Amino acid sequence: MTEYYDALEVRKPAEREADLFLRLPNVLLKAMAAPAYAGHFRGIDPASVTTRAALARLPLLRKSDLPALHRAVLPFGGFVAGTPGSFGRLFTSPGPIFEPEPVHADPWRGARALFAAGFRPGDVVLNTFSYHLTPGGFIFDTSARALGCAVIPAGPGNTEAQFELIEAYRPVGYSGTPDFLKILLDTADSAGRDASSIKRALVSGAAFPKSLQDEIKSRGIDAYQAFGTADLGLIAFETSARDGMVVNEDLIMEIVRPGTGDPVSGGDVGEIVVTSLDPAHPWIRLALGDLTAALPGTSPCGRSNMRIKGWMGRADQTTKVKGMFVRPEQIAEIGKRHPELGRLRLVVTREGETDVMTLKAESGSPSEALRGELAATLRTVTKLQGNVELVAQESLPKDGKVITDERKPA
């Protein structure tokens, strides 16, 4: 298996699905040993959650809610069964959100992402993610060491000291943001320092546009992107196919309609929801607030797991209209009250000095009566008056947006 990290990456999708959902009930049981999860899933029998349909019926846990939950119940909001002393490292991210690192090997699941980017045992890796309080630096550090690499724990900044380390240790790999990689290369050129040993990179944490990709490639570095969070580690990663991102093993990814926990149709844009199968620190239906879409078929590289297009924006489209917040959850509630409709989209504009909102709704049987009913529901749910426009079925974009703000900034 020289092309792949292990045989799990190329097993049949049905085999992977069966394995994940065979393991899920036990992981869910362990999660419910934590008091907050026990309350969150009250009345649910873990043994019954053995399919995607059953999983989709569980309530979401929104990442955007974690800071308030963590402030209320220190240190982990009640969502971790273990004590702080049962973990290896303890971090915080802005919010605050407190993250523990399990003690087992590769706790952030990054070794296979590095392998897919060309890193191999014995490589020296310059890791420029921050090691200060947040998990970023250690996510890539522990992943590289799990692969068998030696790591230079450089962190960001202080390029002069980094050049001394690069010239002494001759790292072939880089992990960090794409922006800092460019800064490092530009500064090396202007200062006459030798950073030519770096030949491959795994980048994350910032946009990596085509123009920057081309520039990094022209400088002799083969760079790949990874998508991850401080809670879950590496979720998906690029491979040699350069065709979307492959979802990591031991994760169940769902893509749901924003404001709901309902899976979208295949290929539609929706919010990323992740369930992790690490019994030491499980996450069950964690809604990240990020948008993506699934790609059809198997990656040309041979890895058989689900593929996504990558990060496609934020799912939290909460908008203030006439001084009141309108949320995607409210638009989803309107849809539940009118199941005969297709997609819904609330468009916010401004006429003169007044905010105007128009609910566009896909309908196969438009009528004035339906328009009136929908306008009344819109007013009941949002407490705001709005227009209703009935449009043809399948006519609204499948881009994951349920609220669009078309007002020009002041």
Give tens-digit pLDDT for 239-252: 999 999 999 999 99
Task: Give bridge partners of residue 272 from the DSSP assignment.
Answer: 255
| φ, ψ dihedrals at 362, nearest 5° | -75, 125
199 by Cβ neighbours in 10 Å (0-12 / 13-18 / 19+) ranks as: middle
Which CATH number applies to 319-405? Answer: 3.30.300.30
Is 2 a residue whose pLDDT tops 70? no
Round to the nearest angstrom and report the end-to-end CA distance of the chain. Answer: 58
What is the reported pLDDT for 320? Answer: 82
Cβ atoms of residues 287 and 273 within 8 Å: yes
For the beta carbon of residue 186, count every other beta carbon within 10 angstroms. 13
What is the reported pLDDT for 311? Answer: 86
Cβ atoms of residues 349 and 358 within 8 Å: yes
DSSP state letter for 314: B
Higher pLDDT, 175 or 289: 175
Cβ atoms of residues 378 and 333 within 8 Å: no
Q: Using alpha carbons only, what angle is made at residue 32 by residues 30 and 34, rounded to the nearest 5 degrees?
A: 95
Is 289 a residue whose pLDDT tops 80? yes
pLDDT in tens, 56-73: 999 999 998 999 999 999
* Domain chopping of the chain, boundaries: 13-314, 319-405
Q: Is 257 helix (H, G, I), strand (E, B) or coil?
A: coil
Is 409 a residue whose pLDDT tops 80? no
Q: What's the CATH architecture for 13-314?
A: 3-Layer(aba) Sandwich (3.40)
